[in-house]
Amino acid sequence: MTYSNARKGKVLLAEPFSLDSNFKRSAVVLTEHDEEGSVGFIINKPLQIKVEELLSDFPEFEAKVYFGGPVATDSIHYLHNVGDLLDDSVKVRRGIYWGGDFDKLKFLIDSKLILPKNIRFYVGYSGWSSGQLKEELTYGSWVLADMHANYLFKAKPEALWETIMTNKGNAYSVIAQMPDNPNWN
């Protein structure tokens, strides 16, 4: 796919031999993409922490937290599938929403109207300045793929990069089977 196919709601797959430890075998959903730049979240790098451990006034909630990217790692973001319940949510694509009213989010969690299966929290985000993502796509640092809500809410994060790459078919399914380190082959 070319840069012109990059848009909000697509997923970026790091090329298999990326040396950037932040993005090695990562899958990044684009939540914002225009001429000013791009924003996304790495969806397959869970952290060993729960959201209520990061936020002192947050209800007890068994939701995992993920590493969203190396930008603003002092911030917390969330992707969810309850945009019809959560005011001010931004639709990323069918079944995936970004953000929303934080106080209402806490209320909905407390009321058991949002469950851990409905939401993913992220520390930091991935960002690209104007033209930067286009350059990286042209260089071959990323493979563009279609994003599905199931990747976010139902797939196992540790297998997600390989799953999405395989779902692209043809040569990509071969790439997905490549070892993490080609010297181990």
Residues 166-178: what's their mean pLDDT? 70
- Residue 149 has phi, psi (to 5 degrees) of -55, -30
**pLDDT tens-digit readout, 3-37:** 568 999 999 999 988 888 899 999 999 999 999 99
Query: Which of 52 and 113 is assigned the larger pLDDT?
Result: 113
Of the chain, the percentage scoring pLDDT greater than 70 comes to 90
Lowest pLDDT segment from 118-132, 139-153, 169-183: 169-183
Query: How many whole angstroms separate alpha carbon 160 and alpha carbon 137?
Result: 20
Query: How many whole angstroms separate alpha carbon 141 and alpha carbon 139?
Result: 6
For the chain, the structural domain boundaries read: 9-168
**pLDDT tens-digit readout, 64-106:** 899 999 999 999 999 999 999 999 999 999 999 999 999 999 9
C-alpha distance from residue 36 to each of 3, 66, 100, 144, 180 (Å): 14, 26, 22, 19, 33
Say what the pLDDT of residue 17 is: 82
For residue 174, pLDDT beyond 70: no
Report the topology of domain 9-168: VC0467-like (3.40.1740)
Query: How many whole angstroms separate alpha carbon 158 and alpha carbon 25?
Result: 10
Say what the pLDDT of residue 2 is: 46
DSSP 60: P
Confidence of residue 175 (pLDDT cuts 50, 70, 90): low
Residue linked to tokens 């490549």 = 178
Exposed/middle/buried for residue 79 (C-beta within 10 Å: 0-12, 13-18, 19+): buried
